[in-house]
């Protein structure tokens, strides 16, 4: 029986070694799967942050270009003797750039999150309010009506401040959104 016991002990130790190797392999495989998933989540989060950053930067860049064009229109409209063809050309440029802002805003809305889209909507409303004043000023310039010029200039300045505050809020919210890791 000694030889039989020796073989059983040898089989038991061989089986134990085989089971140990199987458990070790399963543990290693499980850890690799968990690490792989964690790395994939991390890479996806980085990819998402980068897409959002690009969308937000594109929107801010479009806003900046449009605001420069709007300033040029408002400066031309504040003149005592406005150059109407020049104003019309500047308004055309402004309209083109305003369309670019709208396109960029749509991407911001798609990339989200919802609170940032709400802040972008506030920028849109503030911009629209200022554009209405600018449009009225242009119509009055074409009609050679200066009766409301001082009032419109003051209103435009107020609406410019409101727009500036909305854009500033967008920047802060975008920065906070990009800084989040989830």
- Per-domain residue ranges of the chain: 49-179
Average pLDDT, the chain: 86
How many Cβ atoms from other residues are within 10 Å of residue 111's Cβ?
A: 18
Contacts 24+ apart (CB under 8 A), 122-125: 122/166, 122/169, 122/170, 123/63, 123/163, 123/166, 123/167, 123/170, 125/166
* Tens-digit pLDDT profile for residues 73-87: 999 999 888 999 999
Cβ-contact 60, 171 below 8 angstroms: yes
Tokens linked to 42: 């991390």
The CATH number of 49-179 is which of 1.10.580.10, 1.10.760.10, 3.10.20.30, 1.20.1420.10? 1.20.1420.10
pLDDT tens string for the chain (182 positions)? 566 666 656 667 777 777 777 777 777 767 667 776 666 676 666 777 888 999 999 999 999 999 999 999 999 999 888 999 999 999 999 999 999 999 999 999 998 899 999 999 999 999 999 999 999 999 999 999 999 999 999 999 999 999 999 999 999 999 999 886 44
- Rg over CA atoms, the chain: 32
3-state SS of the chain?
CHHHHHHHHHHHHHHHHHHHHHHHHHHHHHHHHHHHHHHHHHHHHHHHHHHHHHHHHHHHHHHHHHHHHHHHHHHHHCCCCCCHHHHHHHHHHHHHHHHHHHHHHHHHHHHCCHHHHHHHHHHHHHHHHHHHHHHHHHHHHHCCCCCCHHHHHHHHHHHHHHHHHHHHHHHHHHHHHHHCCC
């Amino acid at each position: 029986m000694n030889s039989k016991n020796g073989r059983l002990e040898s089989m038991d130790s061989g089986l134990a070694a085989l089971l140990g190797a199987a458990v070790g392999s399963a543990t290693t495989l499980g850890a690799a799967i968990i690490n792989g998933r964690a790395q994939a989540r991390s890479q996806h989060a980085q990819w998402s942050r980068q897409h959002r950053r690009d969308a937000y930067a594109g929107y801010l860049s479009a806003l900046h270009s449009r605001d420069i064009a709007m300033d040029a229109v408002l400066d031309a409209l504040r003149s005592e003797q406005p150059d109407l063809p020049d104003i019309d050309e500047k308004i055309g440029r402004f309209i083109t750039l305003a369309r670019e802002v709208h396109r960029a805003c749509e991407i911001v809305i798609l990339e989200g999150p919802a609170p940032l889209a709400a802040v972008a909507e506030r920028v849109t409303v503030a911009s629209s309010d200022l554009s209405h004043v600018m449009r009225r000023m242009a119509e009055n310039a074409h009609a050679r009506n200066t009766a409301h010029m001082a009032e419109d200039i003051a209103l435009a300045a107020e609406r410019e401040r409101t727009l500036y505050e909305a854009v500033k809020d967008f920047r802060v919210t975008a920065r906070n959104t990009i800084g989040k890791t989830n």
